[in-house]
Amino acid sequence: VQPEFGDLVVATYGRGFYILDDLTPIRAMAKARPAANALLPVRNGYHFQEVESRHIESTLSDGRGPDYGVPIQYFLKDTLKKAPEIKILQNGKEIRTVKGTNKPGVNRVWWDLRHESPERPKLRTLPPGKSWVPLGKDSTRTLLVWDIDIHSGLLGPRVVPGTFTAQMNLGDETLTQSITILKDPNTTGTMADIAAQEAFSLELRAAQNQTVQLINDLEKKRARMNQLVTRVPDKKLKENLAQLNRDATQISAQLYDIHLTGAREDAFRNPIRLYGRLGALASDIGANGVDFPPTNQQREVFEVLRAQLSKVQQAYDTWIKEEVSGMGKALSKKNKAWALE
């Protein structure tokens, strides 16, 4: 049994070995098997950073390591109708929700030591000139930004090592358990450095969410205008709707690459826009920042992007106030069913 993590390691007579992660709940239940629902003790977690190793080809004998973060185990006396959610609290404030399972006995979920992820946009219109791009059953499509430098930027910011609380609500019953996250002993960054990284990442996430909100709002209005153009018989209103849609498309084009179809090659045809650039910066600090604070260059780039986002927000607000409002009134006056909202 590995003493620090409580993992059970079993070796065979050959060259194989197996690892059962985290005996903490088994040890707890050996002392007192719960007679009712219980959130079991959580072992200490580590704010580990990845270490680059030499590249070796994968083989059929490759093993699989545990998920990153800390395992949270809980005991359920009976099957629940609905899978429970485990809320992660910091100083009483909810920072993350992890979905659990509802089977009787011991259930295990992992918390990856991150805050909630940035919101994801839902596109409701097609790329210009590409009517063959499909929409899903809900009439939306996913905005796929294929660049590998952006993927990690779509994850939530990592927390600063410290004490947290896992909370699970089961109807009238609330179960809690303390979680301690320790600093990676192999890194030289200080706790203040990690705190600066978290604060910067949270600012980035706020900017990402603002961008996604703008994209979603524009997509809903553009989709509605596309519907109305086919229904409104008045030629002048049709022309005004078409112009309104073109103006909205120009604003959208500053937020994301409107030509993306979902094909990977699309990512290399046009420059990435604000959504992708913010994601790339978030990835840079969140995936490659180790335990160091943001660099001066990262902060400067963020200020440039934040200024661009502010201009787009102003353009959107002006478009809503001066164009959409008037158009909406004109449409509603003709027919209440033609409302833009």
The closest of 247, 269, 250, 248 to 260, measured between CA atoms, is 269
For residues 311 and 256, what is the distance between their CA atoms, to the nearest angstrom? 15
Q: What are phi and psi of 251, to 5 degrees?
A: -70, -45
More confident call, 143 vs 266:
143
Long-range contacts from 331-338, C-beta under 8 angstroms, 24+ separation: 331/228, 331/232, 331/237, 334/232, 334/234, 334/237, 338/228, 338/231, 338/232
pLDDT number for residue 148? 67
Per-range mean pLDDT, top range of 53-67, 106-120, 224-238: 106-120
Integer angstrom CA distances of residue 283 from 150, 226, 289: 6, 35, 9
Structure tokens at 142: 């996913």
pLDDT number for residue 338? 78
pTM for the model stands at: 0.91
pLDDT number for residue 336? 78
Q: Is the model's pLDDT at 206 over the cut of 80?
A: yes
23 CB contacts (<8 Å, ≥6 apart)?
1, 6, 7, 8
Pairing verdict, β 85-90 and 162-170: antiparallel
More confident call, 308 vs 269:
308
pLDDT number for residue 107? 93
pLDDT number for residue 282? 93
> 147-166 pLDDT, tens per residue?
667 888 889 999 999 999 99
